């Protein structure tokens, strides 16, 4: 049974479309308002400057999307997306190379995926998309205890026309440009200090036409950079219509990948090195390189607020933004929307009181995204120049980096596929980081290293800290809530 009333979503991107899908099950009317015009075909929107660059789902996100939109992978393939199944994936880092067949999936651009998803969403009878509306401020009751709607500027007319829209629930899914923290402060709510990862990252993407023989044989090729040597990452990623995206990445602000079309191919070839062989020489450039830079990633802590207005929620990059290179953003948005669905079910079933709903949902979504934030922060902090502002343990990040090095050396240099699979389960957000960061697994991991370096490292750490391993982990590693993976979803075979 649907809740009587209207839900209003700010932002018609991926997170907004996910949110609409969930809310359509629970509200009589769902409206998505976006400042952009929605393109009629698979084209980039003006308000998504990062849309030209690669986007991907982690394994957990792929599973959620296929569950919400059955058959969407096949639909993407019918529209020209790259069939990845059984094509070769090659991943290289400073420890070695792994090559294996890819899983059933479709490689495509952000624009094709968003357009396909949007076409699915607008077929829902109670969902409406309204373009050219820029949110200006929140509507509220006299006591400012409840959000009752939004005031928009109508961009479809020349005059500065304001439009007022009432709603029973407002969800901010407007992305990195969200004004929610400012709006809350204007309403008199103290907003907690956000965690910040000052990454100063840059990436540069160019599109290439791919010959048939490469298209039929290859999926993704990744040469992971070495932050300690200031060597960037390069990724070859086939998308639709025999086109591939090549992206170059660097963090820390010391340098950025080139956008000069005369220098790009050579820089890409240098970063790929022998991992891509002669493939690069057979690609035909069909665009100029485009750059994109992000100064910081931000994790808001709205769930810590003592007071929170009813009728208001936040989701996606407006709640927590990530380094795009790890592909976590869309997957986390899907997880958050899935979590919101569970909270709405609890409210509908009487398990959750009406007045507890928003705070409970914020807490659950924060818990669900914490593993992704912690994992990406640990990885980004390898780059000189990247800094972190927040409550998480610097010793925990350092310990994690060393443990991930051990995992990667065992996987890439010694081809220990059991370690590789466990590592990928955690980084793919199927399993909690606690699957790696527990005393029993760490002990088995260091014992599996025949060189003895891992065991010597752990011995030195425990001596310096003068703590047993269990106590050390409890002190420096966050306590992750395993409930973020509902058992009903299952795990991959």
Give residues with Cβ within 8 angstroms of 214, minimum separation 6: 279, 282, 283
| Mean pLDDT score, 65-73 | 95
DSSP symbols for 239-298: -STTEEEEEEEE-SSS------HHHHHHHHHHHHGGGGTTTGGG-EE-S--EEEEEEEEE
What does the pLDDT look like over 158-186, one tens digit per residue?
Answer: 777 999 999 999 999 999 999 999 999 99
Other Cβ atoms within 10 Å of 257 Cβ, number: 25
Cβ atoms of 245 and 237 closer than 8 Å: yes
Is 70 exceeded by the pLDDT of residue 492? no
Query: Number of helices (H) and strands (E), helices first, in the chain?
Result: 14, 19
Over residues 410-423, mean pLDDT: 96
User: What is the model's pLDDT at position 486?
Assistant: 42
Answer with the residue of higher pLDDT: 352 or 201.
201
pTM: 0.94
Which DSSP category does 31 fall into? E
pLDDT confidence tier of residue 250, bands split at 50, 70 and 90: very high
For the chain, what percentages of helix, strand and coil (3-state, to nearest 5) are there? 40, 25, 35
**Interior/surface letters 348-370, b for 16+ CB within 10 angstroms, e for the rest:** eeeebeeeebbbbbbbbbbbbbb
Report the distance separating Cα 100 and Cα 98, nearest Å: 7
CA dist 244 and 15 (Å) reads: 25
pLDDT for 272 equals: 95
Q: What is the pLDDT of residue 484?
A: 43
pLDDT in tens, 422-442: 999 999 999 999 999 999 999
Distances (CA, A) of 351 to 3, 114, 339, 344, 368: 15, 34, 15, 10, 20
Tell me the CB-side half-sphere exposure of residue 75, using CA atoms within 13 A. 15
Q: Is 442 helix (H, G, I), strand (E, B) or coil?
A: helix
Confidence tier at 482 by pLDDT (50, 70, 90): low
Q: How far is CA 240 from CA 8, 111, 471, in A?
A: 33, 10, 50
Arithmetic mean of pLDDT over the chain: 93
Q: Position of tokens 């790009």?
A: 264
pLDDT tens by residue, 9-54: 999 999 999 999 999 999 999 999 999 999 999 998 887 878 889 8
Average pLDDT of the segment spanning 311-316: 97
Residue 313 has pLDDT above 50, yes or no: yes
Q: Is the pLDDT of residue 477 over 70?
A: yes
d(CA 146, CA 269): 55
Q: Are 325 and 201 a contacting pair, CB within 8 Å?
A: yes
What per-residue confidence (pLDDT) applies to 255?
93
**Cα separation of 317 and 305, whole Å?**
19
What percentage of the chain carries pLDDT values higher than 90? 87
pLDDT value at 104 more than 90: no
* Mean pLDDT across 114-142: 96
pLDDT in tens, 229-239: 999 999 999 99
pLDDT at 355: 77
Under a CB-based contact definition with an 8 Å cutoff, are residues 20 and 127 in contact? Answer: yes
């Amino acid at each position: 049974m649907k809740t009587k009333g209207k839900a209003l979503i700010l932002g018609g991107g991926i997170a907004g479309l996910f949110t609409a899908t969930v809310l359509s099950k629970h509200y009589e009317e769902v409206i998505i308002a976006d400042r952009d015009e929605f393109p009629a075909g698979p084209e980039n929107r003006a308000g998504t400057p990062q849309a030209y660059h690669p986007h991907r789902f982690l394994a957990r996100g792929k599973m959620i999307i296929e569950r919400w939109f059955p058959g969407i992978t096949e639909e993407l393939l019918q529209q020209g997306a790259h069939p990845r199944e059984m094509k070769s994936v090659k991943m290289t880092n400073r420890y070695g190379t792994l090559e294996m067949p890819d899983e059933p999936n479709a490689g495509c651009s952000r624009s094709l995926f968003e357009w396909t998803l949007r076409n699915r969403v607008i077929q829902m009878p109670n969902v409406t998309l309204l373009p050219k509306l820029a949110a200006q401020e929140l509507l509220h009751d006299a006591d400012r205890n409840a959000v009752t709607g939004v005031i928009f500027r109508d961009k479809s007319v020349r005059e500065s026309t304001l439009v007022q829209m009432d709603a029973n629930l407002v969800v901010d899914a407007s992305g990195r440009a969200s004004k929610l923290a400012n709006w809350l402060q204007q309403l008199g709510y103290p907003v907690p200090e956000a965690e910040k990862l000052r990454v100063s990252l840059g990436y540069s993407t160019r599109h290439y036409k791919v010959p048939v023989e490469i298209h039929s044989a290859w999926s993704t090729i990744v040469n992971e950079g070495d932050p300690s040597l200031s060597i960037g990452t390069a990724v070859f990623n086939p998308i639709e219509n025999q086109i591939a995206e090549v992206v170059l990445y660097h963090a820390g602000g010391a340098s950025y990948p080139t956008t000069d079309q005369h220098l790009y191919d050579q820089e890409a070839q240098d970063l790929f090195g022998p991992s891509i062989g002669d493939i690069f020489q057979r690609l035909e450039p069909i665009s100029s390189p485009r750059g994109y830079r992000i100064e910081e990633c931000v994790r808001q802590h709205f769930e810590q607020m003592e007071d929170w207005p009813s009728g208001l929620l936040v989701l996606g990059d407006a709640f927590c933004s990530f380094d795009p290179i790890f592909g976590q953003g869309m997957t986390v948005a899907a997880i958050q929307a899935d979590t919101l669905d569970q909270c709405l079910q609890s409210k509908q079933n009487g398990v959750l009181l009406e007045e507890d709903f928003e705070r409970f949902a914020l807490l659950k979504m924060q818990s669900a995204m914490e593993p992704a934030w912690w994992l990406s922060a640990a990885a980004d902090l390898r780059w000189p120049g990247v800094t972190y502002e927040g409550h998480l343990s610097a010793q925990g990040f350092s310990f994690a980096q060393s443990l991930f090095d051990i995992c990667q050396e065992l996987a890439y240099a010694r081809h220990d596929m059991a370690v590789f699979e466990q590592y990928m389960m955690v980084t793919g957000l199927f399993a909690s980081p606690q699957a790696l960061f527990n005393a029993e697994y760490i002990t088995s991991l260091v014992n599996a290293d025949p060189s003895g370096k891992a065991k010597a490292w752990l011995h030195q750490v425990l001596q310096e800290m003068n703590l047993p391993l269990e106590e050390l982990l409890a002190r420096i590693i966050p306590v992750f809530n395993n409930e973020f993976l509902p058992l009903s979803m299952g795990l991959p075979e």
